[in-house]
Amino acid sequence: MFKRILFLWALSLSFLACEEVIQPLPSPQVDSDRKVLLEEFSGGNCQPCADAADEISNLLGIHGENLIVVTMHTYLPAPQASPAPGATYDFRTDEGTEILNILGVPFGIPTGGVNRRPLGINDSRLISPFSAWAGIISDELNRPPLVDVGLETTFNAADRSLSINVNILSNADLNGDIRLTVMIAENDITDKQLTDDGVVDFKHKHVLRDVISSVSGDNLATSLSTNELVNKTYSYTIPTTDERGPWVAENCEIIAFVTLVDDAAGEQEVLQAAQVKLSE
């Protein structure tokens, strides 16, 4: 279990909420095949996290389908990571906590990783403040994708069974530990959130519900040649409800991304991502 993870810093100092001014956003990007993954780490009892959610909405308005977001609530041992007072649900997951451990030790929340690359302060893969996300995302969109990811789903509403088909086409010769991660997230879950106006009802978006693959990613290959195609399928049953509340299938989305991992160096990079809403 990852609820009892220990971080090597003073909690009383590391998670002090801070006010942040949202910087002017860059001009809208031209549509491209490049998809950028933002993995945000948030908390219900975190006022700046509500501001980060507004920033994400702005960024999605600019980049549209070229930006893919998943928001994770974790068992970070700090008050800000806990649900807001009066919350009905607890969005924290062991899987989100494990992913946070993979990306590094945060100085506080909100924070996020962009394509899991070391683009933050001191080459951190966790980028704070959130006003820095806009420029980094724009830069990442200008990098050509080394693979293409095709994603198709079939959902049976009667028994809530879900079939996921992922196609990966290499655009270059690749060598190394190539992995595929598949997640399910949900939008528009109304619950309490600490904001500038106090604790209010809030529409939580992109909330990680589960990781369908292994959390660290399923091994695809140790090498891929240019134009080589790899296919992987998954089966999943969407629950009707769990300790984090009802699952509304039409609000769910599937996220798949390919990473190139170097465990020895403690490095990895998201090469490309894809997203499909179950309602599509």
Structure tokens that stand for 199 in this block = 């604790």
pLDDT tens-place string over residues 128-159: 999 999 999 999 999 999 999 999 999 999 99
Amino acid at 251: N
Structure tokens that stand for 250 in this block = 């039409």
Q: Would 17 be classed as within a structural domain?
A: no
Looking at residue 12, its pLDDT comes to 34
Q: Which residues lie closer than 8 Å to 24 by C-beta, 6 or more apart?
A: none
Measured in degrees and rounded to the nearest 5, phi and psi for residue 4 equal -115, 25
Looking at residue 123, its pLDDT comes to 93
Looking at residue 2, its pLDDT comes to 39
Q: Would 8 be classed as within a structural domain?
A: no
Q: Which residues lie closer than 8 Å to 228 by C-beta, 6 or more apart?
A: 169, 170
| Tokens 């990811």 -> residue | 149
CATH code for position 190: 2.60.40.10
**Alpha-carbon distance 65 to 72, whole Å?**
20
Q: Would 24 be classed as within a structural domain?
A: no
Of the candidates 44, 24, 27, which has an alpha carbon nearest to the alpha carbon of residue 131?
Answer: 24
Segment 114-135 mean pLDDT:
96
Segment 191-217 mean pLDDT:
98
Q: Would 194 be classed as within a structural domain?
A: yes
Spacing of C-alpha 11 from chain mean position: 24
SS3 for 76-87 is CCCHHHCCCCCC
Q: Would 140 be classed as within a structural domain?
A: yes
**Alpha-carbon distance 22 to 132, whole Å?**
9
Spacing of C-alpha 160 from chain mean position: 24
Lowest mean pLDDT among 95-104, 149-158, 257-266: 257-266
User: What is the enclosing helix (H) or strand (E) of 67?
Assistant: strand 67-73
pLDDT-based confidence at 279, cuts 50/70/90? Answer: low
Of residues 144 and 244, more confidently modeled? 144
Q: Would 22 be classed as within a structural domain?
A: no
Residue 62 belongs to domain spanning:
33-277
In 67-192, alpha helices (H)? 94-103, 133-141
SS3 for 160-227 is CEEEEEEEEEECCCEEEEEEEEEEEEECCEEEEEEECCEEEEEEECCEEEEECCCCCCEEEEEEECCC
Question: How many structural domains are present in the chain?
Answer: 1
Looking at residue 32, its pLDDT comes to 53
Spacing of C-alpha 253 from chain mean position: 12
Q: Quick one: DSSP state of residue 176? A: E
Q: Would 231 be classed as within a structural domain?
A: yes
pLDDT tens-place string over residues 9-45: 333 334 433 444 444 444 443 335 999 999 999 999 9
pLDDT tens-place string over residues 163-201: 999 999 999 999 999 999 999 999 999 999 999 999 999
**Alpha-carbon distance 205 to 280, whole Å?**
17
Structure tokens that stand for 247 in this block = 């699952």
Q: Would 20 be classed as within a structural domain?
A: no
Cα–Cα distances in angstroms (integers) from residue 72 to residues 41, 81, 110, 184, 213, in the given order: 5, 10, 10, 11, 16
Q: At what angle do helices 47-63 and 133-141 cross, to 10 degrees?
A: 30
> pTM for the whole thing?
0.89
Of the candidates 86, 116, 121, 107, which has an alpha carbon nearest to the alpha carbon of residue 216?
Answer: 116
Q: Quick one: DSSP state of residue 92? A: B
Looking at residue 267, its pLDDT comes to 85
Structure tokens that stand for 18 in this block = 């801070």
